[in-house]
Amino acid sequence: MSFQKPKGTQDLLPGTVEKWQYLEETARNLTALYRYQEVRTPIFEHTELFERGVGETTDVVEKEMYTFEDKGKRSVTLRPEGTAGTVRAYTENKLYADPDVNKLYYIGPMFRYERPQAGRMRQFHQFGIEAIGSTSPALDAEVITFGYEYCRKLGLTGVRVDVNSVGTPEIRASFREKLLAFLTPMRHELCNDCQSRMDRNPLRVLDCKVDQHRFADAPSLLDELDEECRTHFEQVLAYLDAMGVPYEVNPKLVRGLDYYTHTAFEYKAAGIGAIDTIGGGGRYNGLVGQIGGAEYDRPGVGLGLGLERILLVLEAQGVATPEYPPLDLYLIGLGERAEAETVRLVHEARSAGLTADKDYQGRKMKPAMKSADRLAAREVAILGDDELDAGEITIKTMATGEQRKLPLGEFIRVLAEAKAKAANREQTEEGGQVQ
């Protein structure tokens, strides 16, 4: 019997996984600049956490969660997003005791049951940041700018930010009636999802992709903002202007999760068809108290980026990503004693900082050299029993075909020094270009 991976999942194999490592390395480098620290939360949580935090009337909770009962008859759910679990960890571990803003980030798999398509998997991966402890609009702008800078550092072009203010729960409650008055006459013309949302969460209707064309004249939530919300939003936009982040104000942007207040935003990037959103986020004042208790409530703002979608845009835009590091040295042993010596030499080479491998299949010279070529080895070291007795080893530079003999006890040091000099030369050249 042969097994296949579950629908909506993927195997990340050599040749592809290096692209994921590039995304993750870029993320970690940027979080270090912004002083965000990693948090790793469980892949599954109690179901109530997502029902309360994400919102019972959202598509995520109603349709997409992987929820099951464990052997203790407890309802648990594979995490569909990263914010709720991060906030739960924040409150449970009393991070709110820190008088400064807590800056956290996560990278990992999320799970949603939906129809698989390009950029939308049942197991997908998100990178996100959460900044908890301040209501400052400057923090909103920092989080938005962080996501934009991440895309820029990856090499993406044409990325923009759609931004809106969704006000407070009280403002949305008042806006709800005006929106219903607009939607009710067209109710039977709307899709089934929109009709269902009208009864439970009318604002979510504006997020519909099927009937979006019908809402051009819909009332704007921006018109309902009070002075505090309007001032906050204007300051966020002013900070984005100051930092040179391209954005568009989109009054119909509401996001798909219920916990947002004030600022909501999405990142748009062309190149993956109708689904052009690669991530988004917003402010969530009240969520911490909702999850951890009112006495521990702290304001927060965060974002999440879909790594599968970002990879699709990178490929569509032809952005080159780093490949697997080249092999510095490949060792071939010809003869029983020479083969045994290469075991020690490959270890010595790695200890000296060289990427090294050897022939483990006892092949003759020609197939072993073909293997070195497939592995893109820079240098091949060939050791026979006669050379072992003479204390020498043959080094072949694959790019030029040049062969030379070096003392067996010194060749690793010689190659390691040459590698270090080449690296220093590259750094000097890059430094000169920057200047």
By the 10 Å C-beta count (0-12 exposed, 13-18 middle, 19+ buried), 429 is classed as exposed
322-352: pLDDT as tens digits:
888 889 999 999 999 999 999 999 999 999 9
Give the SS3 label for residue 361. Answer: coil
Low-confidence ranges of the chain (pLDDT < 70): 53, 55-59, 62, 119, 256-257, 271-275, 430-435
Residues 6+ apart with CB under 8 A from 95: 89, 102, 132
Query: Where do the domains of the chain lie?
Result: 17-167+225-316, 327-419
25-74: pLDDT as tens digits:
999 999 999 999 999 999 999 999 988 867 655 667 767 888 999 999 99
- CB count in 10 Å sphere of residue 381: 26
Q: What is the dihedral of CA 59, 62, 67, 73, to 10 degrees?
A: 150
The DSSP line for 111-138 is: E--S--BTTB-SEEEEEEEEEES---HH
From the list 94, 93, 60, 58, the residue with the least C-alpha distance to 77 is 60
**Using CA atoms, how far apart are residues 403 and 412, in angstroms rounded to an integer?**
15
pLDDT at 275: 64
pLDDT at 63: 73
pLDDT at 407: 96
Q: Is the domain defined by 327-419 classed in CATH 3.40.50.800?
A: yes
In this structure, which CATH number among 3.50.50.60, 3.30.230.10, 3.30.930.10, 3.40.190.10 belongs to the domain 17-167+225-316?
3.30.930.10
Q: Check: CB of residue 314 under 8 Å from CB of residue 15.
A: no
Q: Which H helix or E strand runs over 268?
A: strand 261-268
pLDDT at 435: 42
pLDDT at 433: 53
The first and second tokens of residue 195, run together, are: 């009709």
**Using CA atoms, how far apart are residues 382 and 402, in angstroms rounded to an integer?**
13
